[in-house]
Amino acid sequence: MKKIKKYFEEKIKLIKNKILNKKNKKINFYDGIFKNTDFILPSYINLNNPNFIEIDKSFFGGIIIVNYYREQTDLLLKNLIENNSNINISIFYEKQNTYKTINDLTYHIGNVGADLKSGNANRQDIDVAAFTYNDAKYIRKEMQLNNEELFFLYIYLSVCAENEKELKYLLEKIEGLAQAKGMQTRRANFRQEQLFLSTLPIMQNESALKGAARRNVLTSGLVSTYPFISSSVCDENGIFIGTNIYNNSLVFIDRYDTDKYKNANMCIFGTSGAGKSFYTKLLILRGKLLGLEQYVIDPEREYNVLTENFGGTIIKLGPTSNHYINVFDIREESIEENEEGYLATKISKLIGFFNLIFGNIDEEEKAIIEEKLIEVYRNKGINFNDKSLIKEDGNFKRSRDMPILEDLYYAFEKDPRTMKFKTKLIPFVKGSLKFLNNYTNISLENDLIVADVYDLGEENLKFGMYLFTELFWDKIKKNRNIKKAIYLDEIWRLIGVTSNKDVAKFIYKIFKTIRKYGGSSVAITQDISDIFSLEGGAYGKSILNNSSIKTFFSLEEENIKVLSDFMNLSEKEKVEIKSLKRGECLMFVGENKILTKIEADEMEKNIIEKNLK
C-alpha cells in the first residue's frame, strides 16, 4: 500500500508542475511565430509530377547509375564533374563483412559449379551462370590473397534547371556523358523525392533506391570513383582571380604564401587582345587595395589611366619629359645592410647598361670601360671605400654628387683606345637621348609607380627599361617587411636577342632573389619566341622555372610549340591554350593546373578602362 501511495503522490506532483509551467509560460508575440529554419526552407515543394520535383520555381530531375564497365582505365565520374552543369553527385560506399562475404561466395560457387556440370548445355542462361561463376571466383581470390575488401557502391545524380525544357536538355546531356564512360543510367521517375534527399549533404541513402543502384566493387576499384579531380585554389588571404571554368569554383591566390609557394613570381603570356593586360591591371588594382608596393615598367603606355585613378605616380622618360634619371646614381639601398661594396656593385650594373649601348663587348674592352668608370667616380671623390659615399654632414651622397654620362664621354675622349665608345655616346650627351645626361629629379615615395618609357621609341626602349628596373630593384630591397611587386611588361626586350647576357643575368637575379625581400616579379609578354631567343632560351627558361604561378592566355600554335620546348605541356593543355576565349587562361599555380575565367565587376572595369573624374 505504501508503494502504491508513493507512486500516485509522484504522479500528482508531476501533473501539478506541468500545470504551473503552462501558467507561467509567456509568449513573446514580438518575436513572431517563425524560426530561423523557416527563412531558409523553400516556400513550396511540388511532388505531383513523377518525372521531376519543383522547388521554388527550380526543377530537379534524378538519375541513378545502375551499371558501368567492369574494368575502368580512367576516373569514372571525370566527364560528369568537369561538365559545367548544375549537378549534384552523391556516392555511397557500404563495406561488407569479409568473413560472411567469402562464405556466401563459396556457397554460390559450389552451387553454380554443380549446375554447370550437371545442367543442360543448351540452357539459355548457361552463359550468364558461367559469367557469374567466374566473377565470384575472382572476387573470392582477391579477398583471400590480396586483402581486398568488398563494398556496395551507389551513385546518384541530381540535375537542377530553371524550367522543364532546360531540365530535359540537361538530363539527356548528362545521360550522354555517362554513357560515353560506359555507365548505364535510369531516370528516378516516381522516386524523385527519394533521390533528391539522397543527394543532399545529410548522408541519407534511401532504401527505395538501393535495389536499383547497388553494385559490387573491390577496394582497388574505389579509386575510379574518386570525385575530387578538378583543381581548385582558394588561398585564405588570396586575391580573387576568377572562376574555375570546369566547376565554377572561386579562385583565390595568395602568391606571397611562402608555406605554399616557393616564390611569389608570375609569368603572364598571351597574344594581343587575349586579356593579359586587363588581368595585369586587375592584379595591380587589387594589390593596391591590399596595400602592396607596386612598380610597373610600361613600354606601351597602358597603365596611365589606372595609375591616375588610384593616385599613383607616373614617371615619363623621353625627349619631351622633364623627368630625369642619372645612370651613375649609387643609392644607399643598393646593397644590403651590413654589406660592403657600393662602387663594385654599381660598376657591374653599368657594364650591363653599356653593353646595351656598345653591343657585346669583349673582356678586354670591359676592363678598359671599367678603368674609365673608376676614374670618373674618383674625380667625384668616390672610390671602393664605402665611407667615400658619406658626406661631411653624415648623409649619403645624392645624385648631384655623382658623375653623369658626359663625364664618361670626356674620359673616353682623352684615350685613343676608347674613341669608338665616345662616338657611340654622342646621342646620349649631345643628341636625341641627352635627357639621359642629367641628374635624377624624381621621387619614389608613392606605393604605385609606373615608369612610362613609351616616348623612347622602339630602338631605345631597352635603355629606359633597364634604368627603371635597376631603380625599382634598389627600392624593393629597402624594406624586407613590406610586400611589393615589380611588373616587367614586354620583358623580351630585356632577356631576348636584342638584349645581352649581362642584362639578362641581372633580370634573372631579380627573379631568383626577390623572394627574400618580400617581393614578386611579374614577367609579361606576347612574344614567346623572343624571350627564348638569347643563349638558346636559357634565361627565358630560368625565369619561367623561377615563377611559381604561370598564366597562359590564348596563344598561336607557333608560340605554343616554342613554349612546349621549354615546359612540359601535355597535348590536352596545348589544345586548351589554343582554344581559350578572351579573358580565359590556363593557370599553373604551384602543383595545380586550372582553367580560369578572369572576373571583374563593373566598378573595377571602369577604374581600369575609363578616366574617372
The whole-number average pLDDT for the span 25-51 is 72
Q: How far apart are CA 60 and CA 52, in angstroms?
A: 5
Residue 486: enclosing H or E segment and its boundaries? strand 484-489
What residues does 63 pair with on adjacent strands? 157, 187
How far, CA to CA in Å, does 397 sit from each of 87, 258, 379, 393, 553?
Answer: 67, 36, 14, 10, 46
HSE-CB for 458 with a 13 A CA cutoff: 0
Residue 232 identity (one-letter amino acid): S
Of 435, 438, 470, 469, nearest in space to 455 by CA = 435
**Among residues of the chain, what percentage have pLDDT more than 70?**
90
Residue 483 has pLDDT above 70, yes or no: yes
**Among residues of the chain, what percentage have pLDDT more than 90?**
53
Q: What is the pLDDT of residues 508-543, one digit of tens each?
A: 999 999 999 999 999 999 888 888 988 888 899 999
Q: What is the pTM of this model?
A: 0.71
Q: What is the pLDDT of residues 64-95, one digit of tens each?
A: 999 988 776 677 887 787 777 889 999 999 99
Report pLDDT for 436: 92
Report pLDDT for 584: 94
- C-beta of residue 588 within 8 angstroms of C-beta of residue 272: no
Residue 269 identity (one-letter amino acid): F
- Identify the weakest region by mean pLDDT among 26-30, 341-345, 457-461, 491-495: 26-30
Strands 549-552, 592-598: pairing kind = unpaired
Q: How far apart are CA 328 and CA 287, in angstroms?
A: 32
- C-beta of residue 109 within 8 angstroms of C-beta of residue 140: yes
Report pLDDT for 53: 94
Q: How far apart are CA 501 and CA 149, in angstroms?
A: 61
Report pLDDT for 230: 62
Report pLDDT for 396: 93
C-alpha cell at 268: 603572364
Neighbouring C-beta atoms of residue 61, cutoff 10 Å = 25
How far, CA to CA in Å, does 164 sit from each of 64, 87, 176?
Answer: 19, 15, 18
Kindly report the length of the chain. Answer: 613
Sequence-separated (6 or more) residues with CB below 8 Å from residue 524: 268, 269, 276, 277, 280, 487, 488, 489, 490, 491
Residue 379 has pLDDT above 90, yes or no: yes
The whole-number average pLDDT for the span 558-578 is 89
Report pLDDT for 496: 85
Of 357, 370, 367, nearest in space to 420 by CA = 357
Q: What is the pLDDT of residues 91-132, one digit of tens each?
A: 999 999 999 988 988 888 888 777 777 665 555 566 667 777
C-alpha distance across the termini of the chain, in Å: 96
Sequence-separated (6 or more) residues with CB below 8 Å from residue 157: 62, 63, 64, 65, 80, 87, 88, 89, 90, 174, 178, 185, 199
Of 299, 330, 313, 319, nearest in space to 470 by CA = 330
Q: How far apart are CA 526 and CA 541, in angstroms?
A: 15
Residue 33 has pLDDT above 70, yes or no: no
Q: What is the pLDDT of residues 146-162, one digit of tens each?
A: 889 999 999 999 999 99
In the block, which residue shows the cell 631576348?
496
- C-beta of residue 26 within 8 angstroms of C-beta of residue 136: no
The whole-number average pLDDT for the span 318-322 is 89
Going by pLDDT thresholds of 50, 70 and 90, the confidence category of residue 612 is very low
Report pLDDT for 613: 41
Q: What is the pLDDT of residues 256-313, one digit of tens each?
A: 998 899 999 999 999 988 999 999 999 999 999 889 999 999 999 999 989 988 889 9
Q: Taking all residues of the chain, what is their mean pLDDT, rounded to a whole number?
A: 87
- C-beta of residue 326 within 8 angstroms of C-beta of residue 404: yes
Residue 422: enclosing H or E segment and its boundaries? helix 419-429
Of 487, 489, 586, 527, nearest in space to 285 by CA = 487
**DSSP for residue 395:** P
